[in-house]
Chain A
Amino acid sequence: MNMINWATFEPLLPEMLLVCIGLALICLDLFVEKTRELLPWLTVLGCVTVLGMVIGERNVTAFGGMFLTDAYAVFFKVISLLSVIMATLMGEHYRRVHGLRHGEYYALMVFAATGMMVMASAGDLMVLYLGLELMALSVYCLVGMNKGEGRSTEAAIKYFLMGVFASAILLYGMSLVYGLTGSTTISEIARYTAATGLTENPALLAALGLIIAGFCFKVAVAPFHFWTPDVYEGAPTVITAFMSVGPKAAGFAVFGRVLLSGFPELQPHWGSLLATLALLTMAVGNLTALVQTSIKRMLAYSAIAHAGYSLLGVLAGTADGLSATMSYLLIYGFMNMGAFAILVLLSSRGAHHESLDDYRGLAKSHPLAAALMLVFMFSLTGIPPTAGFIGKFYLLRAALGAGYTWTVIGAVIFSAISAYFYLRVVRYMYMSEPEGELDFSYTPGISAVLGLALLGVVGLGLLPGTIIGWAASALLGQ
């Protein structure tokens, strides 16, 4: 009888630990009533432990290339865990204010994190799909968390139906690829395609198109973005913040790995396709955001626009481009989490305060919150010395280096347009008189998120060397 060699499982340890944490959280919630107050803090503690393990991971190719723990995977795992940590801390505040008592919230968050980590490490289409579904199913439930609220339930159903549809398209593409190349391992697909000269094969191109469509849905790239505004608006704000950062980053992780490791020979095809999609996404996101009156919905469209910017690095098809997308996603994580944290902070029981009008004169009544929002808005616009500028600059540089000049010119013009609606928030806060009374207080959870986000936005803006150096060295397979 074969003994199981436990050493083979070593690369999976962080993921396994996360699953255990998730299960433990469920049990604690069910059976030990006294610990309920502690659940968020236990979640954070668990995630921080796993974060430490992830950073210390060695570069291993496990299970015959199905599971990779290269620096690329580590980078995305860090983003995923950071997004979970911040969303949990925010959730703690949200729970206190809105009186929600859901232990499963934290467990689902942890399971979503596991899914994202598996996605980041996936070296095989099947593992990729497993991770994707684990993450997606957890997030479907999280979106519908506010059971009493119609729009939350509606968003969950909508997201579920559209998500399942997209997964089916993705699977169909994968099955075609398997039929053509005889393998589901990403590196094997690339080797086979190159060796047999399949690069102009129409069936392979169709399969690639289906896969790209599936991924585009996951990261909310136009024209597959129609679910985004409604779902982002309907979901509890904490979940919206989480979705726009963690799952999106994980989506880009597989996007980048599949295209660059799996189909590098086809770059001329998918490069120009993605360039068109990127421009379309920026146009849809930025132009529609111009007319929104709800900040939450505006941020949803802004998330679409930012997916367009992030694509710039992927479509370049270079190591440089991919590391630009990686740094951008991390930076975007900080600034978007920060902006959503202000939204969460301002909401109170029964009233969400998501309309622009609620922000009138905020600088007078709550100078600190207004100043923080100001920093996040300027960062989302991409104005130095905030990190948003550094991220955008790196992306533009990569896309220009790959020769996509007109795409870049389009990107900067849309970026200038975006200034209008981000600055509108600043205008309302600083240049109008307050109308109603807003009453809120800072809890440890939300303060920690705001502090972390501010540190990220300002720190990475002033000293970007570390992050760019890290992303540049964290290339595929290293």
Chain B
Amino acid sequence: MSIPILSTLIFFPVAGGLSLLMVDRNKTHLIRMMALIIGLMEMLISLPLFFLFDKTTPRMQFTELTPWIPALNINYSLGIDGISILFILLTGLVTVLSILVSWEAIQDKVKEFFIALLVLEGMIIGVFCALDFFLFYIFWEAMLIPMFLIIGIWGGPKRIYATVKFFLYTLVGSLLMLVGIITLYYHGGQTFDIRELARHTYSPGLQMLLFWAMFAAFAVKVPMWPVHTWLPDAHTEAPAAGSVILAAVLIKMGAYGFLRFSMPILPDATRAMMIPMIVLSLIAIVYGAVICLAQTDLKRLIAYSSVSHMGFITLGLYGLNTQGVEGGILQMINHGIVTGALFLCIGMIYERTHTRVIADYGGLASTMPLFAGFFMLFTMAAVGLPATNGFIGEFLILLGSFINRPWAAFFAATGLVLGAWYMLWLFQRIFFNPVNSKVVGLAELNLREIVILLPMVALVFWIGLYPDSLLSFMHVSVAHLLDQVHGGADAVSRVAVVLP
């Protein structure tokens, strides 16, 4: 490829966002339109990735390489494989939806909001493209600045507490990882290229130290139990667009970090730490689900359900077999779509009622039947009803963990039961029950809102009915990753893919 498509994807939204600086701040409609056009164009630019991607090779594609800091052997090195490509496409879609959902919700400092959102998009795509650990770190940290502002400026009443907590949690984790990255650099032949680093072998003791250094950053971002406490606050206080981006792509970066860095570079430590990681995941699944049952705040409930669902994802990844890892990656996309959609829904209804307390709702199905239909559908996807995307992901993860560790699958399955419980109960309290006076006379969804939700519905069923269209992207890359983790020998734990 002669066109640097990945660089374009990273810097087009950043440049587009900065171009908004030149627009008069009072022309809010123009600013919104420009942001939307930039977001849509970004999606258009990402389409060639989908069609030109070669699914038969585990090698990095669309690569770019330019020396950046020659004195320290740091390169501007980009590339994607079957693991990262889907996240880039998802980021493009989610950003457009976030722009749309902020259309009327954001009235103050409109210009700054869209600049922050677009810069954030560029940084997130950078995280998924970077093949140089240093470059990855730059994007990983730079993303904090717009997110800090989005939660802190346009968030809810306790936004400052939430955003500072989010920033500090992430920063401490990231800085510990930075120490790990530099240590890796010295032991891995003075390079930051992750493919080079993965080719070296490190002593088990060092691997363990590096594993925990990376764990500090990635586990906070996922977030895994017990470092998840920033997430409910950040989710709850962020504006709708912030919650959507946070749920759909931002927390996926942590799990992606495990896949891209921990596993191939530190295979011995990964295998040794498999059981502790599975146990942490199981705790997150059950704990998150139980906490959900006690929530009175709509957004907080969905936030804790994210903790539970992310537990599923790390459970799948640390099954370290084809089903588990592929299921984990697919479930990351699914969770992005479903939870993103749920936050979009909550954003729409919050705009009408300005309350997030569950008890303030009730009988909404009679005033907003269409909205109830959409919400029902996403609820079903969240609890993993067959024919929705959630089912495929959860099934693969359970299958993956059942092959090697039936007890883990057993505990995870209790999480599914609890998940159905809190989601259906939530649905009952909001949409059925006697009509609450606060929801009488609410306007039904308008065209813009329906347009936002329709692609999510399409994705829910598309992935639910024909998952191989996404899974086919990752087969080869995941097989390659597992070869790296298992040293290419242990084929027993990787039986062929069994699709439902």
Q: Is A416 an interface residue (CB 8 A)?
A: yes
Which of B166-174, B226-234, B387-395, B456-464 forms part of the interface with chain A?
B166-174
Q: What residues of chain B lie closer than 8 Å to A389, measured between beta carbons?
A: 138, 141
**Which A residues between 373 and 432 are near B, CB-CB below 8 angstroms?**
378, 383-385, 389, 393-394, 396-397, 400-401, 405, 408-409, 412-413, 415-416, 419-420, 423, 426-427, 430-431
Q: What residues of chain A lie closer than 8 Å to B134, measured between beta carbons?
A: 393
| Given A423-B164, A465-B68, A468-B71, A431 contacting B159 (CB threshold 8 A) | yes
**What interface size band does chain B fall in?**
20 to 34
Q: What residues of chain B lie closer than 8 Å to A356, measured between beta carbons?
A: none
Q: Is B256 an interface residue (CB 8 A)?
A: no
- Verify A412–B141 contact, CB threshold 8 A: no
- Verify B178–A412 contact, CB threshold 8 A: yes
Which of B67, B68, B141, B152 lies in contact with A383, CB distance below 8 A? B141
- Verify B164–A415 contact, CB threshold 8 A: no
**Which B residues between 62 and 111 are near A, CB-CB below 8 angstroms?**
67-72, 109
**1/0 per residue B165-187: CB within 8 Å of A?**
00110011001101100110110
**Which B residues between 98 and 135 are near A, CB-CB below 8 angstroms?**
109, 112, 134
Shortest Cβ distance from A303 into chain B, in angstroms?
21
**1/0 per residue B186-205: CB within 8 Å of A?**
10000000000000000000
Shortest Cβ distance from B117 into chain A, in angstroms?
15
Q: Count chain B CB atoms within 10 A of each CB in A415, A420, A465 and give the residue with the most.
A: A465
Q: What residues of chain A lie closer than 8 Å to B160, measured between beta carbons?
A: 427, 431
Q: Is B53 an interface residue (CB 8 A)?
A: no
Q: Is B145 an interface residue (CB 8 A)?
A: yes
User: Looking across the interface, which residue of chain B has its beta carbon closest to that of A470?
Assistant: B71
- Verify A412–B153 contact, CB threshold 8 A: no
Q: Is A46 an interface residue (CB 8 A)?
A: no
Q: What residues of chain B lie closer than 8 Å to A385, measured between beta carbons?
A: 138, 142
- Verify A420–B144 contact, CB threshold 8 A: no
Which of A384, A394, A430 lies in contact with B153, CB distance below 8 A? A430
Q: Is B432 an interface residue (CB 8 A)?
A: no
Q: Count chain B CB atoms within 10 A of each CB in A384, A400, A464 and give the residue with the most.
A: A384
| A-B Cβ contacts below 8 A, count | 81
Q: How far is the CA of A384 from the CA of B126 in the complex (A)?
A: 13
**Which A residues between 232 and 262 are near B, CB-CB below 8 angstroms?**
none
What DSSP secondary structure best describes chain A's contact surface? helix
Q: How far is the CA of A393 from the CA of B175 in the complex (A)?
A: 10
- Verify B185–A423 contact, CB threshold 8 A: no
Q: What residues of chain B lie closer than 8 Å to A23, measured between beta carbons?
A: none
- Verify B171–A430 contact, CB threshold 8 A: no
Q: How far is the CA of A385 from the CA of B145 in the complex (A)?
A: 10
Which of B72, B109, B142, B186 lies in contact with A384, CB distance below 8 A? B142
Shortest Cβ distance from A39 into chain B, in angstroms?
36
**1/0 per residue B373-409: CB within 8 Å of A?**
0000000000000000000000000000000000000
**Which B residues between 282 and 334 are near A, CB-CB below 8 angstroms?**
none
Q: Is B148 an interface residue (CB 8 A)?
A: yes
- Verify B159–A412 contact, CB threshold 8 A: no
- Verify B175–A413 contact, CB threshold 8 A: yes
Q: Is B420 an interface residue (CB 8 A)?
A: no
- Verify A464–B144 contact, CB threshold 8 A: no
Q: How far is the CA of A401 from the CA of B176 in the complex (A)?
A: 16
| Given A416-B168, A431-B152, A465-B70, A400 contacting B175 (CB threshold 8 A) | no
**1/0 per residue A445-478: CB within 8 Å of B?**
0000000000000000000110011001000000
Shortest Cβ distance from A165 into chain B, in angstroms?
37
| Given A430-B149, A464-B69, A400 contacting B183 (CB threshold 8 A) | yes
- Verify A468–B72 contact, CB threshold 8 A: yes
Shortest Cβ distance from B145 into chain A, in angstroms?
6
Q: What residues of chain B lie closer than 8 Å to A416, measured between beta carbons?
A: 168, 171-172, 175
Q: What residues of chain B lie closer than 8 Å to A413, measured between beta carbons?
A: 172, 175
Q: Is B411 an interface residue (CB 8 A)?
A: no
- Verify A420–B72 contact, CB threshold 8 A: no
Q: How far is the CA of A420 from the CA of B168 in the complex (A)?
A: 8
- Verify B183–A384 contact, CB threshold 8 A: no
Q: Is B350 an interface residue (CB 8 A)?
A: no
Shortest Cβ distance from A5 into chain B, in angstroms?
40
| Given A423-B167, A430-B152, A384 contacting B138 (CB threshold 8 A) | yes
- Verify B71–A469 contact, CB threshold 8 A: yes
Shortest Cβ distance from A62 into chain B, in angstroms?
30
**What interface size band does chain A fall in?**
20 to 34
- Verify A378–B71 contact, CB threshold 8 A: no
User: Looking across the interface, which residue of chain A has its beta carbon closest to that of B171?
Assistant: A416
Q: What residues of chain B lie closer than 8 Å to A426, measured between beta carbons?
A: 148
Shortest Cβ distance from B113 into chain A, in angstroms?
12
Q: How far is the CA of A431 from the CA of B148 in the complex (A)?
A: 11
User: Looking across the interface, which residue of chain A has its beta carbon closest to that of B185?
Assistant: A397
Q: What residues of chain B lie closer than 8 Å to A393, measured between beta carbons?
A: 134, 178, 182
Q: Is B421 an interface residue (CB 8 A)?
A: no
Q: Count chain A CB atoms within 10 A of each CB in B148, B168, B176 and give the residue with the most.
A: B148
Which of A401, A420, A431, A465 lies in contact with B69, CB distance below 8 A? A465
Q: How far is the CA of A468 from the CA of B70 in the complex (A)?
A: 9
| Given A397-B72, A465-B69, A378 contacting B179 (CB threshold 8 A) | no
Shortest Cβ distance from B142 into chain A, in angstroms?
5
- Verify A423–B148 contact, CB threshold 8 A: yes
Shortest Cβ distance from A104 into chain B, in angstroms?
42
- Verify A408–B69 contact, CB threshold 8 A: no
**1/0 per residue A101-133: CB within 8 Å of B?**
000000000000000000000000000000000
Q: How far is the CA of A248 from the CA of B172 in the complex (A)?
A: 28
User: Looking across the interface, which residue of chain A has its beta carbon closest to that of B70?
Assistant: A465
- Verify B71–A472 contact, CB threshold 8 A: yes
Shortest Cβ distance from A462 into chain B, in angstroms?
9
- Verify A419–B182 contact, CB threshold 8 A: no
- Verify A419–B168 contact, CB threshold 8 A: yes
**1/0 per residue B144-164: CB within 8 Å of A?**
110011001100000110001
- Verify B145–A383 contact, CB threshold 8 A: yes
- Verify A419–B171 contact, CB threshold 8 A: yes
Which of A409, A465, A472 lies in contact with B176, CB distance below 8 A? A409
**Which A residues between 343 and 389 are near B, CB-CB below 8 angstroms?**
363-364, 378, 383-385, 389
Q: How far is the CA of A427 from the CA of B166 in the complex (A)?
A: 14
Q: What residues of chain B lie closer than 8 Å to A408, measured between beta carbons?
A: 179, 182
Which of A396, A397, A469 lies in contact with B70, CB distance below 8 A? A469
- Verify B186–A400 contact, CB threshold 8 A: yes
Q: What residues of chain B lie closer than 8 Å to A427, measured between beta carbons?
A: 152, 160, 164
Q: How far is the CA of A78 from the CA of B70 in the complex (A)?
A: 23
Q: What residues of chain A lie closer than 8 Å to B185, measured between beta carbons?
A: 397
User: Looking across the interface, which residue of chain B has its beta carbon closest to that of A378?
Assistant: B145
- Verify B145–A396 contact, CB threshold 8 A: no
Q: What residues of chain A lie closer than 8 Å to B167, measured between beta carbons?
A: 419, 423
Name 23 A/B residue pairs within 8 A (Cβ), A-sorted. A363-B109, A363-B112, A378-B145, A383-B141, A384-B141, A389-B141, A394-B72, A396-B182, A397-B182, A400-B182, A400-B183, A409-B176, A412-B175, A412-B179, A413-B175, A427-B164, A430-B149, A431-B152, A431-B160, A468-B71, A469-B69, A469-B70, A469-B71
**A interface residues with partner B (beta carbon < 8 Å):** 363-364, 378, 383-385, 389, 393-394, 396-397, 400-401, 405, 408-409, 412-413, 415-416, 419-420, 423, 426-427, 430-431, 464-465, 468-469, 472
Instruction: Contacts A383-B141, A413-B172, A420-B168 known; list 14 others, CB within 8 Å.
Output: A363-B112, A383-B144, A384-B138, A393-B178, A396-B179, A397-B72, A408-B182, A415-B175, A419-B167, A423-B148, A430-B152, A465-B69, A465-B71, A468-B69
Q: What are the 3 tightest A-B residue pairs by CB atom distance, in nearest-first order?
A: A412-B175, A384-B138, A416-B172
